[in-house]
Amino acid sequence: MDSNSLYYSLELVAGSGHTLNLEQRTALQTSLVILKKNYKFHRVLLWGKILGLNNDYFIAQGRGEDEMEDKKNLYSFNCMDWFLLPPVTDQMIEEVSRAAKGRFIGDPSFVYEHIQTRKHGNGEKAEEEEIMTKVTEETRLTVVVHHIDEEVSVVPRGAFVRNPHGLVQINRSFDGLSHSEAGKLDSFLHFSKPKNLKKKSILEMGELNPAIDFLDVVSDDIPKGSWSLQFECASKVCVLRSLLWLGLTFYHVPMTPQHGYIYIGNGLKNLDLPFML
Amino acid sequence: MEAIDENQDISQTRLDSAASFKAFMLKTSTKSNLNLYDHLTQLLIKVMDNQPQNVVDVIEDLSLDVKRCLYEDQQSSLRDLPQTTAAELLAEQQRLLFSRTEDADQEDELVESPLPNVNEIGFYLEQAGVGLGREEMQRVFLALKQLVESQALLRCRLWGKILGTESSYIVAEAEYREGEGEEEQITEEAAEEEEREVKAQDNEIDLPPQSTYKPAPVVPKEAIGAGANKFVYYVCKEPGLPWVRLPSVSPAQINIARQIRKFFTGKLDSPVASYPPFPGNEANYLRAQIARISAGTQVSPQGFFQAGEEDGDEEYEAPRDCFDVNPDFEGIPVAEMAESLSTWVHHVQHILPQGRCTWVNLAVKPEVEEMEEEPDEPEPEVGPPLLSPLSQDAEMFTTPPWTSKISTTLTSQHAIAVLCSNLWPGSYAFACGKKFENIYVGWGLKYAGEAYSPPVPPLPQKEYPSGPEITEDLDPSLEEEQALKEALEEQQAAQDEIEETDEEEEDND
């Protein structure tokens, strides 16, 4: 959620049970301004919090000119001192998926180790080779933040536009979904590179507006029912929760341009989802 | 002269073509009854009136606007049909929360109110980073007040909130009062007996082959006011909507709830589709999870409660289930509480693997007498005693069960101690001086380690052992049949002979 709207937006997502205390909020109001200036971001978002066993990571995201491409993530323990996370590479993703298990510890230098034994040759001549994968928690944090952004970051339809140059920018004339639109999952889009947009039929594509509908629709997610859509705060705020990444909460106040999402959770993907619906 | 004539001709033809083109432009469209000439006139008037920048870029939009304006008058005869939105309906319901009761002033202030100070709790919880939002907390506060007044409860507490896929539950915990709730149990039992009778009658009419399968003996439910049913729980979807009392929980429900992982939907009467099948609907499932969460995560600072006076040595084996508030409790320093887990104790009884808090021996029953071999006396299950410190809790999935921390490091003089459960994500406790509170806000699911694997269905039953009594004989061949026939005939002939000789003998006599 945008750092400028922290005053009220934290209240709107508090229905999931997590909020920030006053000290953290005030610290963020100060530090995010400095962060924006130092890194020359166009705007700064409070991305969320990953709960560790000993410490919690606060994550902020800086956005540049292109809202989708120019993203940088930073983490902090005390909401004041921010450290930049490196960009994600395929190798990092692979290593993390192999080695990192269990809850976050809360120490970026903690090393997850994984030993894989591989057999060479066959029969009695088989030689066992041990492959050791080592991953630091900072790498894991980078990858998890990337995954969550890829899989469950949400924006209402029309809040962002792609201009003819291909830049994705905030739609200044977006004035919110109507109440009936906000009650339907297909008015919400994934804010990540589209994956199954090209698979749509020409008939479906014909109804889409290329400036707005350049993203994947949330209602196409598999399995069906991996989102929980509710109206909260006296039925005035549309709240969307991901069941795949428990802890991701998105809010949108219908008929206003206010929207945003935050992740406060333990950074574990809910792999049991198919059993739980 | 000719040149002038030619010029005139040319201008004439030009005028003609212009006139014809104007006529073409004035042609009204069969669809919209408009014509291009008027449209362009209006468009240019609009451009002259508005004088927007970069007109050429927005001319299409302007053109659309002009066309749209034509319809406005026609539409004015339609009137919007106001639709009641969910927000309006809810507001109507919640209005009742804010109505003042007339006799509120006359209340005796000496009597301790059962209503908890939710605002104070909310203030502390916010420091711990937990909460439902201030406004929502206030609504819940008012809803609890409504509950206390309507049900005349002895004591009441905000237990927490359980999120569901369609709506969430706000859960209130209330103390059971003597004499209440017994009716419910009696009616339930009566219903069960009736069912059995009906089944028995059916059996008399048509006797199907009896199954030799004997279900495992049903573990009896704990009485209301004891063990897992010590408290009664009320839930509501939104503050302001009616509170619903949850049914009491049975050991079978707790045991199945331990094996399944399901989201709550937010509708109390929806079925729980799971394997193994859950006995009951979502209300029962919710109650079972509440019992498990309470047993696992309700904690208090050590010394706040003291063990109740024991009645005598007779119940030596039975774990204590009563405790009193310790009047001499002075509070434990916050730093110490955040440091060590042994300063926190469980004050809700542990649920045994049997699904009850106190163990019952199912083997001791009159039926046992018939059995020749005495089955091994089952080992009684024993859980940790009440008020045992958290430092004794078992570690699961290589994750410590609790994380304790201090709410702030900047102003640590006035910080509070916060404890969060890693086994039940969403369960929090805080302590500050003599005050402490537990709350649960989450999905109602236990941390399951890496991945949940559902229990496998039981092995198929063995085939009936095949023996001579159930094997089918081969059909006899023609020769065999004839041989048998001959043998029978011979036998007959022999018998006849004997009879004949007997008769002869009789005649001889």
CA proximity to A179, closest of A238, A228, A233: A238
User: By the CB < 8 Å criterion, does B271 face chain A?
Assistant: no
Query: Is residue B366 over pLDDT 60?
Result: no
3-state SS string for chain A = CEHHHHHHHHHHCHHHCECCCHHHHHHHHHHHHHHHHHHCCCEEEEEEEEECCCCEEEEEEEECCCCCCCEEEEEECCCCCCEECCCCCHHHHHHHHHHCCCCCCCCCCCEEEEEEEEEECCHHHCEEEEEEEEEEHHHHHHHHHHHHHHHHCEEECCCEEECCCCCEEECCCCCCCCHHHHCCHHHEEECCCCCCCCCCCHHHHHCCCCCCCCCCEHHHCCCCCCEEEEEECCCCEEEEEECCCCCEEEEECCCCCCEEEEEEECCCCCCCHHHHC
In a domain? residue B476 = no
Q: Are strands A259-265 and A43-51 parallel, antiparallel or unpaired?
A: parallel
Coil, strand or helix: which one is B31?
Answer: coil
User: By the CB < 8 Å criterion, does A256 face chain B?
Assistant: no
Banded pLDDT at B113 (limits 50, 70, 90): confident
Average pLDDT of span B377-387 = 71
pLDDT at B218: 77
Asked if A236's CB is within 8 angstroms of B166's CB, the reply is no
Asked if A17's CB is within 8 angstroms of B163's CB, the reply is yes
A54: chain B residues, CB-CB within 8 Å = 403
Asked if B128's CB is within 8 angstroms of A21's CB, the reply is yes
Strand partners of residue B301: B344
User: By the CB < 8 Å criterion, does B165 face chain A?
Assistant: yes
Asked if B133's CB is within 8 angstroms of A234's CB, the reply is no
Angle CA B391–B393–B395, to nearest 5: 110
In a domain? residue B100 = no
Asked if B452's CB is within 8 angstroms of A275's CB, the reply is yes
Give the chain B residue whose CA is nearest to the CA of A105.
Answer: B399
Asked if B130's CB is within 8 angstroms of A18's CB, the reply is yes
Coil, strand or helix: which one is B173?
Answer: strand
Q: What is the tens place of the pLDDT at every residue in B57-83? A: 888 888 888 888 877 665 566 777 777
pLDDT at A47: 93
Helical residues (DSSP H) of B262-304, grouped into ranges: 282-297
Angle CA B111–B117–B123, to nearest 5: 160
A19: chain B residues, CB-CB within 8 Å = 126, 129-131, 133
Query: Is residue B43 over pLDDT 80?
Result: yes
pLDDT at B407: 85
This model of the complex carries an ipTM of 0.89
Residues 46-105 of chain A whose Cβ lies under 8 A from any Cβ of chain B: 53-54, 78, 101-103
H or E stretch at B255: helix B251-259
Average pLDDT of span B490-508 = 76
In a domain? residue B290 = yes
Cα of A58 to nearest chain B Cα, Å:
13
Query: Is residue B341 over pLDDT 60?
Result: yes
In a domain? residue B285 = yes
In a domain? residue B162 = yes
A211: chain B residues, CB-CB within 8 Å = none
Nearest to A101 among B167, B445, B450 (CB): B450
Q: Which of the residue ranges A10-24, A248-262, B107-121, B283-297 would you say has the lowest mean pLDDT?
A: B107-121
Look up residue B152 and give its two tokens.
């005349």
B163: chain A residues, CB-CB within 8 Å = 16-17, 228, 241
Other residues' Cβ atoms within 10 Å of the Cβ of residue A247: 27
Residues 436-455 of chain B whose Cβ lies under 8 A from any Cβ of chain A: 441-443, 445, 448-452, 454
Burial class (CB in 10 A: 0-12, 13-18, 19+), B508: exposed
A–B CB contacts, 8 A cutoff, strictly below: 107
Residues 199-238 of chain B whose Cβ lies under 8 A from any Cβ of chain A: 238
Task: Select from B136, B162, B411, B427 the residue whose CB has the most chain A CBs within 10 Å, as the one to mutate to test that interface.
Answer: B136
Average pLDDT of span B440-462 = 84
H or E stretch at B244: strand B244-245
Q: What is the tens place of the pLDDT at every residue in A88-137? A: 999 999 888 888 888 898 888 888 888 887 777 666 666 777 788 888 99
A238: chain B residues, CB-CB within 8 Å = none
User: By the CB < 8 Å criterion, does A244 face chain B?
Assistant: no
Q: What is the tens place of the pLDDT at every residue in A173-213? A: 898 998 888 889 989 999 988 887 777 777 777 777 778 88
Q: How far apart are CA B256 and CA B279, in angstroms?
A: 8
pLDDT at B178: 62
Average pLDDT of span B341-358 = 83
pLDDT at B162: 93
Number of domains in chain B: 1
pLDDT at B1: 55
Helical residues (DSSP H) of B78-181, grouped into ranges: 86-94, 118-127, 134-151
CA proximity to A156, closest of A101, A217, A98, A226: A217
Query: Is residue B188 over pLDDT 60?
Result: no
A103: chain B residues, CB-CB within 8 Å = 399, 422
The gap from C-alpha A164 to its chain's centroid, in whole angstroms, comes to 26
**Average per-residue pLDDT in chain A?**
88
B128: chain A residues, CB-CB within 8 Å = 21
* CB-CB contact of A242 with A225 (8 Å): no
Query: Is residue B372 over pLDDT 50?
Result: no
Nearest to A19 among B129, B426, B449 (CB): B129
pLDDT at B103: 56
B293: chain A residues, CB-CB within 8 Å = none
Banded pLDDT at B99 (limits 50, 70, 90): confident
What residues make up the domain containing B346?
117-200+216-309+319-366+380-442
Look up residue B227 and give its two tokens.
């063990």
In a domain? residue B14 = no
Q: How far apart are CA A19 and CA B161, in angstroms?
A: 14
B399: chain A residues, CB-CB within 8 Å = 53, 102-103
pLDDT at B309: 54
Cα of B425 to nearest chain A Cα, Å:
9
Query: Is residue A236 over pLDDT 50?
Result: yes
Q: Which residues contact A48 (CB under 8 A, 6 or more apart)?
A: A58, A59, A247, A248, A262, A263, A264, A265
Residues 135-164 of chain B whose Cβ lies under 8 A from any Cβ of chain A: 135-136, 139, 161, 163-164
Give the chain B residue whose CA is nearest to the CA of A13.
Answer: B133
Task: Select from A12, A103, A245 the residue whose CB has the most chain B CBs within 10 Å, as the one to mutate to test that interface.
Answer: A103
Average pLDDT of span B449-467 = 80
Burial class (CB in 10 A: 0-12, 13-18, 19+), B299: buried
Q: How far apart are CA B229 and CA B287, in angstroms?
A: 10
pLDDT at A73: 93
In a domain? residue B95 = no
Coil, strand or helix: which one is B500?
Answer: helix
pLDDT at B308: 64
Q: What is the tens place of the pLDDT at every residue in B229-273? A: 888 899 999 888 889 999 988 888 888 898 888 899 989 999 988
Q: What is the tens place of the pLDDT at every residue in B283-336? A: 999 999 999 999 888 888 888 887 765 444 434 444 455 677 777 778 788 888
**Average per-residue pLDDT in chain B?**
79
* CB-CB contact of B90 with B239 (8 Å): no
Average pLDDT of span B116-129 = 89
pLDDT at B3: 66
User: By the CB < 8 Å criterion, does A184 face chain B?
Assistant: no
Asked if A103's CB is within 8 angstroms of B165's CB, the reply is no
* CA-based end-to-end distance of chain B: 178
In a domain? residue B480 = no
A240: chain B residues, CB-CB within 8 Å = none
Q: What is the tens place of the pLDDT at every residue in A134-186? A: 889 999 999 999 999 999 999 999 999 988 888 898 988 898 998 888 889 98
Banded pLDDT at B160 (limits 50, 70, 90): very high
